[in-house]
């Protein structure tokens, strides 16, 4: 079955860049996603990348996809305290129905 | 409504009791998902509806769990004979497209089984 792995914690200083990494197993995933979860709130889609792309940039966010290594990363430039949250990597399964989420990376931004 | 609405937001029950959790998706969204999130973990898939039918219920852990969506809108997740291990946040999400579109999540129903 599908499996998505992430490191559990990341701590950065305000203004630095954050890089959150993810590995996945399903090579047929059409889309790969990054969701953000703030304390006490539901998950919110941050960005996604189509599997035939290597990179996608959206303001402070850069997503890099290495299909050969099944590695996805999310870079947040100029990280702010408001970026403190849990970030989930997700892929969609073979049948395009079931989203599989990683365990989440808790990002702490220090002043 | 404007977003996915889940009720109750918190539910405390005793072991062995029956529980219903309700999800009201975004109007017009045909796809509806239930996930379960335990502390420190990512959401774990339970069941997916396309319209009124359960297109994939492979994530339901056992036959104590059941979900319905009789009119293709509101869904209810039903848990019989609750166990302490069922304690988690139950998340509902809906999507306009059934094949990989953005999932819109509710804030979840936190279930605590004593």
Name the 3-class secondary structure at B9.
Answer: coil
Given a cut of 80, whether residue A51 has pLDDT beyond it is yes
Q: What is the CA radius of gyration of chain B?
A: 13
The Cα of A46 is separated from the nearest Cα of chain B by a number of Å equal to 10
Q: Which residue has the higher pLDDT, A109 or A26?
A: A109
Compute the count of residue pairs across chains A and B with CB atoms less than 8 Å apart: 57
- Give B100's contacts in chain A (Cβ within 8 Å): 30-31, 92, 96
Q: What are phi and psi of A82, to 5 degrees?
A: -70, -10
In A, minimum Cα distance to B38 occurs at: A103
Percent of chain A's residues with pLDDT above 70: 94
Cross-chain residue pair A97–B42, CB shorter than 8 Å: no
Contacts of B54 in chain A (CB under 8 A): none
Phi, psi of A109 (to 5 degrees): -110, 120
pLDDT for A42 equals 85
Distance CA B77, CA B65 (A): 7
Nearest CB to B42: which of A88, A96, A97?
A: A88
Quick one: pLDDT at residue B1?
A: 53
**Per-residue pLDDT reduced to its tens digit, A7-21:** 999 999 999 999 999
Judge contact between B30 and B93, C-beta under 8 A.
no
pLDDT of residue B99 exceeding 70, the answer is no
Of A31, A40, A103, the CB nearest to B42: A103
- CB contact under 8 Å between A41 and B107, yes or no, is yes
Q: Name the residue in chain B with its Cα closest to that of A91.
A: B100
Burial B20-58 (b: 16+ CB within 10 A, else e): ebebbbbeebbbbbbbbbeeeebbbbbbbbbeeebebbe
Dig out the tokens for A71 from the structure. Answer: 């590695």
**How close B98 gets to chain A, by Cα (Å)?**
7
Binary contact (A102, B4; C-beta < 8 A): no
Q: Which of A31, A44, A97 sits opposite B56 (nearest CB)?
A: A97
């Amino acid at each position: 079955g599908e499996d998505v792995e992430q490191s559990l914690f990341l701590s950065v200083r305000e203004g630095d860049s954050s890089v959150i990494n993810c590995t996945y197993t399903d090579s047929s995933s059409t889309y790969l996603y990054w969701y953000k979860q703030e304390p006490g709130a539901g998950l919110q889609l941050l960005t996604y990348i189509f599997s035939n792309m290597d990179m996608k940039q959206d303001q402070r966010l850069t997503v890099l996809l290495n299909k050969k290594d099944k590695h996805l990363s999310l870079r947040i430039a100029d990280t702010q305290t408001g970026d403190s949250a849990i970030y989930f990597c997700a892929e969609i399964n073979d049948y395009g129905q079931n989203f599989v989420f990683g365990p989440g990376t808790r990002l702490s931004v220090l002043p | 409504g404007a977003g996915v609405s889940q009720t109750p937001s918190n539910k405390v029950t005793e072991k062995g009791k029956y529980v219903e959790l309700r999800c009201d998706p975004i109007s017009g969204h045909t796809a509806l998902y239930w996930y379960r999130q335990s502390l420190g973990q990512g959401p774990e898939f339970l069941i997916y509806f396309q319209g009124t039918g359960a297109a994939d219920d492979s994530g339901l852990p056992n036959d104590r769990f059941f979900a319905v969506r009789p009119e293709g809108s509101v869904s209810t997740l039903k848990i019989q004979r609750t166990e302490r291990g069922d304690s988690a946040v139950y998340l509902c999400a809906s999507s306009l497209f059934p094949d990989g579109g953005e999932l819109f999540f509710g804030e979840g129903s936190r279930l605590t089984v004593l």
